[in-house]
Amino acid sequence: MAHSVPLLVAAALVAFYVLRSGLLRPYLTFFWHCFIRPIPGRDQKSRLDEFYAGQALVYDSTRNGLLRGRRTMLGLSAAHLRALRAKSPEKRLVWVDIGGGTGYNIELMDSFFPISQFDAVYVIDLCNPLLEVARKRFAARGWTNVTVLCQDAAEFSLPEWTGDRDPKGSVSFISLSYSLSMIPSFYPVLDRIDHVLDPQNGLLSVVDFYTAGKHPSLHEKAIGGVSKECGWLSRWFWQVWFDFDHVSLSPARRSYLEYKFGTIKSYNGRNKFVVPFIVRIPYYIWLGRSRSCVDVASACHAFEVEGGNTIGNCSPVALKAIKEAENVPSLQIGEPALALQATVIDIAPPFSSFHYHVNSEDPFEDMKHLQLSSDDSMLVITSAGDNALHYVATAGIKRIHCVDMNPCQGHLLELKLAAIKSLDHNDFFALFGAGKHANFRGLLDTVLAPHLSSSAYQFWRVNSNAFSSSFYLRGYSGWALRLASWIFRLAGVTKDIQALCNAENLQQQQDIWQQKLRPVLLNPVVVSFVVRNPVFLWNALGVPVNQTRMLLDEGSVYEFVRDTLEPLASSYLFKNDNYFYLLVSALLGHYTAESCPEYLTRRGFEALKSKDGAALDAFRLHTDSIVNVLRGLAEASLTRSLVMDSMDWFPPGSKELEEEVAQFHRVLAPGGCLFWRSAARLPWYNARFEAGGFTVTCLGVRKGPEAAIDRVNMYASFWRAVRL
């Protein structure tokens, strides 16, 4: 008991100091006005004035934790404004912040986009006590281009709209920061915004609380519906809670917003305010543009689905029409001002991350047989996008359709394309060479975002820690690298692995392999209990059951692994001529400047980035099956296609494969070539192509552990089919 007395005295002294210093005064004021003092039930302006009159001076200091996302919204807006401004630098830049209150957003925006660069800034609010804070704030900053207006948002009018002048299209940027949910008559407000917003270069940005149904619509999925769903308890509780303060979280406001305007960015978050594991207030960040904009007429390969939610001047297309469309919707890279949505088709199984962070096929071997030119059009599997970037960087082909059932693979390639477009080589290599960047989140919001679709932005926003440590240890295939690391350490060969990857010549490399590593890595116990596991094969390596059966029909798993690894040490120097195994084996979790994919070299990067990224216009991204994409391509529109090992995934006698063969015959031009790799030395489906109007030729086949057929050597054979 005696020991507790000093503690009680100390606690009392601390409490006295806190009360005396006034540290809690802003929060007590906030609590009184928000939770205890009744709000009069008269008109909206009177309620706002009386509600904020006693707390206007502490408004900003007490809302930072509650009103999350404002900084992100302004950073994203600044990035898109710069892109829009670059297209039309001669136009007046006018910003209207509706419900801007104390002017906090204006001061915060100055760190992203200097206020001095705006021709005019208007803060509109119905609450005089908050606007008085704004007036003093702007006077202290000396901003003469900022005007405070006490007006109803539904009828706002700018001083520059004099006489009978129609204000249509005269505003460049409009923002609503936690104000849309407080405006009773939100329909006329959004209608008025649509009228005055510049249809070609205007930007509308919103951050606010929300609630939504448990199951998002196809349209919501298309514009980035990740984490949008709210359970029944969350919907009920937050709508009732905020209703006491005359704040409406009904889904109607956001639904009309997304109906009225085309979405370019959408992020759904949870504000873990005060008690992180219990209090999780749903909030969203949304950026959009007028649906009448026509600057994307040439980029109409992507659109949202359901109910005419189309960006730009494309015609509305429903889901059924998407699957049957003559032109398959996709994502075109090249319009920095407006990011477009890729095809969203319900697919199974669902994917929450990417399987592959690197391609496991050798593009140098591909290039020997593809014989690409600037006139070629290709279809490839997206995977990590490394090989697609290699083909474009080295051959400058006209068009390349990148197809993957896993949307996260498309998000990864989108990020690489956006980074090439907007970053210098140092930042680019830090991301995808070193696999680590200290400021990825900052780059995402302020530099990369204008070049990403809404879905891709939301994926990387949710996974913004992907580059905080090694990127290549993430995703499903990252588990394979982690397992390899564990095996190397357990066997005590970590230093030998590193010596292998630093060997100066093939003889030294071969000696290390034979004497130190072969007994460990080709141990039958390791191979049988690890590699034979079907769960590991799919989740870590992306090898499906049908493909596993194909290789087992021609030998054992041990023989397959032996034939893969045995010849590599004597064929390619890992240090500078085999980046595939350098990444896996060296336990670095990153590439080096001497050993990396072509797109990461300065030469390859500059080839892709030159002429303002003109080469990137070749890319079309599809989240769908190969056969669905082929259905939408014109006859004889492709000259080359390389589908990796995708046909190994089909079971023998598959009707889907029969249709894919027929579609390839229709879409490939006469003399056009289709290439594939297989885990089998003689794939069963070769005969289907021969019967379907192709001449099939073997380009390479493994005949044991003596020689590698390429740098990866993971596949037993490599094939070409020429369309007759």
List, as one string, the DSSP characters of 361-374.
S-HHHHHHHH---T
CA angle, 595 then 601 then 602, to 5°? 145
Measured CA angle at 360 (ends 645, 692), to 5 deg: 20
Cis peptide before 329 (omega within 30 of 0): no
Report the share of the chain in percent with pLDDT over 90: 47
Chain centroid to Cα 423, Å, comes to: 16
Helix (H) or strand (E) holding 416: helix 407-422
CB-count exposure of residue 521 (10 Å: 0-12, 13-18, 19+): buried
Classify residue 502 as exposed, middle or buried by CB count within 10 Å of its CB (0-12, 13-18, 19+): middle
Average pLDDT, the chain: 81
pLDDT of residue 396: 93
Q: What is the dihedral of CA 632, 634, 640, 644, to 10 degrees?
A: 10
Intervals of CATH 3.40.50.150 along the chain: 62-293
The domain covering 62-293 belongs, at the CATH homologous superfamily level, to Vaccinia Virus protein VP39 (3.40.50.150)
Residue 597 is encoded by which pair of tokens? 């994919």
Token digits for 29? 């004021």
Task: Return d(Cα 282, Cα 251) in angstroms, integer.
Answer: 12
The alpha carbons of the chain give a radius of gyration, in whole angstroms, of 29
Residue 690: exposed, middle, or buried by beta-carbon count in 10 A (0-12, 13-18, 19+)?
middle
For 343, the token pair is 């095809």
Distances (CA, A) of 276 to 67, 233, 280, 425, 644: 15, 17, 7, 39, 45
Which neighbouring-strand residues pair with 271? 281
CA dist 632 to 299, 315, 401, 664, 670, Å? 16, 17, 12, 12, 19
> Which residues in the chain come in under a pLDDT of 50?
1-2, 15-19, 31-33, 295-349, 538, 540, 586
Q: Please tell me the distance from the alpha carbon of residue 292 to that of residue 277, in angstroms, as a whole number.
A: 43
pLDDT in tens, 63-73: 677 888 999 99
Q: In angstroms, rounded to a whole number, what is the distance separating the alpha carbons of residues 715 and 564?
A: 8
Residues 415-429: pLDDT tens digits? 999 999 999 999 999
Q: What is the pLDDT of residue 340?
A: 33
Question: Is 167:158 a contact under the CB 8 Å cutoff?
Answer: yes
Cα–Cα nearest to 403, from 426, 387, 380, 420: 380
Q: Where would I find the beta strands (DSSP E) of 239-335? A: 261-271, 281-290, 331-332
- The closest of 597, 575, 596 to 586, measured between CA atoms, is 575
